[in-house]
Structure 1
Amino acid sequence: MMKIAIIGGTGVYDPQILNNIRDQEIATPYGVVRFKSGEYAGKEVAFLPRHGSNHSIPPHLINYRANIWAMKKVGVQNIIATTAVGSLNLAMKPGDFVLIDQFLDFIKNRTTTFYEGGERGVAHLDVTTPYCPSVRSLLAEIASRLGIALHQQGTYVCTEGPRFETPAEIKMFAKLGGDVVGMTNVPEVILAREAEICYATVSMVTNFAAGISPQPLTHQEVVEAMAANSENIKKLILSAIESLEPETDCACKHALAEYGGFKL
């Protein structure tokens, strides 16, 4: 059973960090999900490239509910997600890693819950701690041990995309307390918590955001920045997989206890 999953963001498409790679396909109520599975450190791991293997799915059209449902269905209890982000915080420079602990939700047209009434009913999810403290703590410890620079806290501003943000929006987000900006972490983090999966996000700063950056933003610079730091992200994730103990109890696994727990 696959108890650990990697959800790879922009620039993290390659499942070759795993051994014995196999193609997998899971049917969900929201559509079919295709992903890879492999092994590392004696553990079976799911690898799901969020945008597709060729970056063919834009942020606003990713089937977030199907992805998280599929991971839950195959037995995943821990998800390590990567995201490429622009920085609003001068202390978080291009090339830095940020261990996200909060988010600001500026998405517009995405469904953010599995509970829309009907047979599943309605659930009001607590997101005081949206990212798993246990997995975050492990990632911070490993980064320190490996000598990888990592900011242990950061607020992720999620926008709809696929366009980049205006300088005026970036000023607003910074005033509201945002540190980094991206297009994919919401609703992924919310759905993972509803599904009672321990979820953590490692964001890599690829550029300063609009109005802070001295030049216009391009997708190519994001991809190039991720590639330049790919070895560090691989080391961090693989070391975390070695140390993760998916069966360990955690508050994330009881996020919907009030509603009888999450049911597929």
Structure 2
Amino acid sequence: MDKTETVIGVIGGSGLYGMDGLTDTEWRRIDSPFGTPSDEVLFGRLGDVQMVFLPRHGRGHRISPSGINYRANIDVMKRAGCTDIISVSACGSFREELAPGCFVIVDQFIDRTFAREKSFFGNGLVAHVSMADPVCARLGDALEKAASDCGIDHVRGGTYLTMEGPQFSTRAESHLYRSWDCSVIGMTNMPEAKLAREAELCYATVAMVTDYDCWREEDAHVDVAAVLEVLTGNASKAQDLIAAAAPALSGSRNICHSGCDRALEVALITPPEARDEEMAVMLDAVAGRVLG
């Protein structure tokens, strides 16, 4: 297999609407057959590493979690040449030891969303990708080392529960999710992680804790003002983390040992003669490698 040059894509969540330290920067509009992405895409370099940045909520935080076009976002990142996606997301904590300011390098998800398009595939061209291990271990390793090098309080491993939002949890929901052994809660990483897998992109999440949700009855319930106060410090640490992780991920490689870049090889179930041609055209970036 030909070697692939690494292009690191960063999807920035609440509080992270740009990237410091990039050179040769240019915001570019990339069109997607799946609709309008959250914003233009920022191209740049971090030393020798090609970087691509997309603000998940758009600059100015204009788009709610349910209003994000997750399919268009992942599609344009693939069209921009990304091989790896680092998702940076604000979240609430379900564990006492995961205090505001802690970063959780997530390894599992529970998807409780219900109002979002969750797949690039569908009637006319069906595919079923494995989500048993939804994040790339290679990216997780690099992020863990970078967090240690930067002195960032962090935990490797944990389950991120994605709720629909935009309201925060009820106290009953918060206690339920704690009983499921979830670590953090957010509103944006699903179906993002599923779509990244369908697009054969390596994907990892850094969940930045801003609050304790509402399960700690001795605390005031979570509110936007409290979240925003923590976001500023988290965003600065996220910039440092990405800058530290990028060099370790740079260069070229043959394959991803986690199999992320070959996820579709055993996923397509509709035979070529039965496939919807218009859908196949829409999937040129996401699945062109296997559709031919």
Q: 1:2 touches 1:45 (CA, 8 Å); kept in 2? A: no
TM-score, normalised relative to structure 1: 0.94
2:104 touches 2:154 (CA, 8 Å); kept in 1?
yes
Q: Which of these residues, 170, 189, 211, is aligned with residue 174 of structure 2?
A: 170
SS in 2 for 1:142: helix
Task: Go from structure 1 to structure 2 and tell me whether the alpha carbon gap of 1:7 and 1:246 turns closer, same or farther (over 3 Å shift).
Answer: farther
- In structure 2, the partner of 1:262 is 287
- CA displacement at 1:97 relative to structure 2: 0.5
Query: In the alignment, which of 101, 110, 119 is matched to residue 113 of structure 1?
Result: 119
Structure 1, unpaired ranges of 5+: none
Could you tell me which of 239, 243, 248 is aligned with 2:248?
243
Corresponding position: 1:12 with 2:16: yes
Cα deviation, residue 262, structure 1: 2.4
Task: Please show how residues 59-138 of structure 1 align to structure 2 within 5 Å.
Answer: 59-118=65-124, 121-138=125-142
AA aligned to 2:182 is G
Residues 41 and 53 of structure 2 are in contact (CA less than 8 Å); yes or no, is this contact kept in structure 1?
A: yes
Moved more, 176-185 or 16-25: 16-25
Larger Rg computed on CA atoms: 2
Mapped pair 1:229 → 2:234: yes
Q: d(CA) in 1 for partners of 2:99 and 2:212?
A: 7
**Residue 202, structure 1, aligned to residue 206, structure 2:** yes
Counterpart CA distance in 1 for 2:30 and 2:43 is 12
**Counterpart residue identity of residue 48, structure 1:** L
Query: In structure 1, how many angstroms separate the alpha carbons of the residues matched to 2:208 and 2:49?
Result: 26
Could you tell me whether the CA contact under 8 Å between 1:116 and 1:122 is conserved in 2? yes
Contact 1:4 1:246 in 2 (8 A): no
Q: How has the CA–CA distance of structure 1 residues 215 and 114 changed in structure 2, closer, same or farther, with 3 Å as cutoff?
A: same
Normalized per residue, the structure richer in strand is 1
Which residue of 175, 190, 196 maps to 1:186? Answer: 190
For structure 2, list consecutive stretches of 5 or more residues without a partner in the other structure: 269-285
Separation (CA, whole Å) in 2 of partners of 1:2 and 1:246: 6
CA RMSD of superposed structures (Å): 1.7
Q: Deviations over 1:197-224 (max 9, x none)?
A: 0111101100001132611322232222
> Could you say if the C-alpha distance between residues 227 and 140 of structure 1 is closer, same or farther in structure 2, counting changes exceeding 3 Å?
same
Deviation of the 1:176 alpha carbon? 1.2
Q: CA–CA distance in 1 between the matches of 2:87 and 2:194? A: 13
The structure 1 segments of at least 4 consecutive aligned residues displaced by more than 3 Å after TM superposition are: none
Paired residue type of 2:250: E
